[in-house]
Amino acid sequence: MNPPFAAGVVPIIPKSLLGTPHQYACEKANRLFCWGWFKQNWSGIFWPALRQHVVLVLIAVTIGFAISMALALLAHRFRRAEQPVVWFTSFLYTIPALALFELLVGVPGLGLSRTTAEVALVSYTLLILFRNILTGLRSVSADVRDSARGMGMNNRQLLLQVELPLALPAIIAGLRIATVSTIALATLAVLVDGNEGLGAPIISAINDGYFKTELIAAGGLAVLLAVGADGLLVGTQRLLTPWARARAV
Amino acid sequence: MAEALDRDASPAVGNATGGEASRALELELRHVHKRYPSRREAAIPDLSLTVPAGEVCVLVGPSGSGKTTAMRLVNRMIPLTGGDILLGGRSVLQRDPTELRREIGYVIQQVGLFPHHTVRDNIATVPKLLGWQRARIDARVNELLELISLDADDVADRYPNQLSGGQRQRVGVARAIAADPPLLLMDEPFGAIDPINRTILQEGFLALQAQVRKTVVFVTHDIDEAIKLGDRIAILREGGVLAQYATPAEILDSPADDFVAEFVGADRALKRLGLATLADVELVAMNGHRPVGELPVSTNVRDALSVVLAAGGEPFKVIGDDGEVLGLATLDAIGGVLKDGRDIGSNGMPDSGPAHPPAHPASREKA
């Protein structure tokens, strides 16, 4: 709707766009999204960015899950451990993301690196995962726990055969929230780890100033990735908890 | 240590297989004392009683009488603070708690079936903990489903939330006796079931017990249930004191004190009649009388009394199993059961009252 360029001003064309008449035309019309350009740069920009993004998220959620599981098991066994863990993870969760990324760069040994990005991403998963795992473990009804003990299960058997399976729905619910929010947050990783993940094309588009395709494509891919990951987790849950679907006859 | 236990299938229980004669052991509580850390008063100050192998001992009493506590002390779900408990002459305190519990069946009111396991897997819980072979477990599960009158094809692969309350309770019992434990603990197992299904479950329990002959400790607050199911009844009063330990007939005939008399109810004479059948009644000869109807000899005396009263007190003809006339049931004859029927329905227990039979620590009874 807006006139693309002020009359007489020669547009500054980013280097990556040079040499292809198609994109130039699209850009000239200042369309929101240039499909041809997107296709042309899929293998060069978007596919690598998407792959990096998935790796970033997988590592963050995996490590976050491992830490949260350990903390939740601790709090499950020793009630007193719960509050300190909640305080600490809530504190991490309330730090504004931008600030945390920048703060971590200053930490000796981290600097501008993928590790810095992962540390930040992991710290945001802890509260959600910890809370959900612990809630799930505690949701196992007293009579089920009592009968398990009464039949001679030791602590480990009670945990592995009864509590963890029954906590699965709550655990996976936590994983879904953590995964989706990490996918969104991981676009900030580019701040501390240049050219990493779907944040890279987004930053590039922001710096560019007027060409939107890169931004919309990367943002859209992040959304699709989130929806896909969520669906995958829902499917996993259905597969792992057949009893939840078996209803009274 | 936990790992070692998993592999340590108790040899005694490991011997149990489907189809073999089931086992039972004598249970003895010896000066059992329990005080919870947060309380000043003991929940159970000093409780001694012996349950002979293969008998059902019902612990009954008002809330606060420590009946559930007493039961849970046996499989060490609650730690003892004094005295000793012997199963088959062996102190439970010398056993590892998890190993001990795998040898003691356990049924609670809410059943506590695992919602994420099928009926088959629920029943297989203890055999799996004991490391039984797959084929043996399958055979045992099928045998148990038959024992509790559930159709394996229909029910075995369902989840607990797909069963009725009564079915769940039966599966809970099957799960408890899966590894053929010599002792079965039941904590108000039928308490949450509606009256009609409770009666069915009680009958089912008696039929099952007639086959498996386990030593059973059964907790209830319902004196009628206690009378119906118990070979012996231990009546506890508030404060965890044993008021009387005797057969149902003895308790109804001669309550040890006012508390017991009140607890069994003013209708204890009627309840007592319910323990006898017309076979126990000294029937009147037929000569001259005109009976107004017939009753089978297997009728329980309480029902017979009701029928006779409904007919205006007129006598009924009692018919034997083969159709022969045995005599007349008159009001007087029926009332006679209460006068001289002291030993009817009892198992020859030496004494009523809080005294407990002498201990036989070395005896290992088999049913």
Q: What is the pLDDT of residue A90?
A: 94
| A74 to chain B, closest Cα gap in Å | 18
| CATH superfamily, with its number, for domain B2-267 | P-loop containing nucleotide triphosphate hydrolases (3.40.50.300)
What is the H or E stretch that residue B259 is in?
helix B258-264
Q: What is the pLDDT of residue A249?
A: 53
pLDDT band at A27; cut points 50, 70, 90: low
Give domain status of residue A235, yes or no.
Answer: yes
Q: What CATH code is carried by the domain that includes residue A206? A: 1.10.3720.10
Q: Domains of chain B: which residue ranges? A: 2-267, 277-340
Q: What is the pLDDT of residue A178?
A: 97
Q: What is the pLDDT of residue A17?
A: 53
What was the ipTM of the complex prediction?
0.79
Q: What is the mean pLDDT of chain A?
A: 86
Question: CA nearest A148 in B: which residue?
Answer: B112
Q: What is the pLDDT of residue A100?
A: 87
**Cα–Cα distance, B239 to B13 (Å, whole number):** 36
Q: What is the pLDDT of residue B300?
A: 85
**Contacts B127 to A, Cβ<8 Å:** none
The verdict on A141 touching B (C-beta cutoff 8 Å) is: yes
pLDDT band at A14; cut points 50, 70, 90: low
| B100 to chain A, closest Cα gap in Å | 7
Q: Smallest Cβ distance to A246: which of B109, B114, B159?
A: B159
**Contacts B161 to A, Cβ<8 Å:** 243, 246-248
Residue from B6, B74, B119, B125 whose CB has the most chain A CBs within 10 Å, to mutate = B125
The verdict on A78 touching B (C-beta cutoff 8 Å) is: no
Domain that holds residue A110: 44-239
Rounded to an integer, the average pLDDT of A216-235 is 95
Question: Number of folded domains in chain A?
Answer: 1
Does A144 sit within 8 Å of B114, measured CB to CB? yes
Does B175 sit within 8 Å of A243, measured CB to CB? no
Q: Smallest Cβ distance to A151: which of B5, B102, B116?
A: B102
Do B322 and B296 touch, CB atoms closer than 8 A? no
Does A144 sit within 8 Å of B115, measured CB to CB? yes
Does B111 sit within 8 Å of A147, measured CB to CB? yes
Residues of chain B with pLDDT under 50: 1-20, 341-367
Q: What is the pLDDT of residue A15?
A: 44
The HSE-up count of residue B327 (CA atoms within 13 Å, CB side) is: 12
Tokens at residue B276, please?
A: 């006898």
Q: Smallest Cβ distance to A156: which of B2, B116, B176?
A: B2
Q: What is the pLDDT of residue A83?
A: 94
pLDDT at A16 over 70: no
Does A148 sit within 8 Å of B100, measured CB to CB? no
| pLDDT tens-digit series, residues A106-154 | 888 888 888 888 999 999 999 999 999 999 999 999 999 999 999 999 9
The verdict on A169 touching B (C-beta cutoff 8 Å) is: no
| B236 to chain A, closest Cα gap in Å | 23
Lowest-confidence range among A21-35, A196-210, B4-18, B21-35? B4-18
Does A246 sit within 8 Å of B161, measured CB to CB? yes
- What torsion do the CA atoms of B174, B179, B185, B187 make, to the nearest 10 degrees? -30
Q: What is the pLDDT of residue B355?
A: 40
Tokens at residue A24, please?
A: 């130039």
Tokens at residue B263, please?
A: 């607890």
Does B112 sit within 8 Å of A147, measured CB to CB? yes
Count other C-beta atoms under 10 Å from residue B254's C-beta.
14
| A226 to chain B, closest Cα gap in Å | 29
pLDDT band at A21; cut points 50, 70, 90: low
SS3 call for B141: helix
Tokens at residue A148, please?
A: 């398990």
Residue B325 phi/psi, 5-degree rounding, is -85, 125
pLDDT at A47 over 50: yes
- Fold exhibited by the domain B277-340: CBS-domain (3.10.580)
**Cα–Cα distance, B282 to B74 (Å, whole number):** 43
Using alpha carbons, select from B75, B85, B201, B219 the residue that is nearest to residue B149: B201
Q: Which is more confidently placed, B358 or A234? A: A234
Where are the extended beta strands (E) located within chain B?
27-34, 44-51, 56-60, 82-87, 90-91, 104-108, 183-187, 215-220, 232-237, 241-246, 294-296, 316-319, 325-329
Give domain status of residue A113, yes or no.
Answer: yes
The verdict on A243 touching B (C-beta cutoff 8 Å) is: yes
Rounded to an integer, the average pLDDT of A74-92 is 94
Q: What is the pLDDT of residue A246?
A: 76
pLDDT at A5 over 80: no
Using alpha carbons, select from B256, B253, B199, B248 the residue that is nearest to residue B227: B248
Does B158 sit within 8 Å of A151, measured CB to CB? no
Rounded to an integer, the average pLDDT of A100-108 is 85
Does B158 sit within 8 Å of A166, measured CB to CB? no
Q: What is the pLDDT of residue A114?
A: 85
**Cα–Cα distance, B206 to B203 (Å, whole number):** 5
Long-range CB pairs of A40-46 (<8 Å, 24+ gap) are A41/A16, A45/A16, A45/A200, A45/A201, A45/A214, A46/A201, A46/A217, A46/A218, A46/A221
Q: What is the pLDDT of residue B324?
A: 86
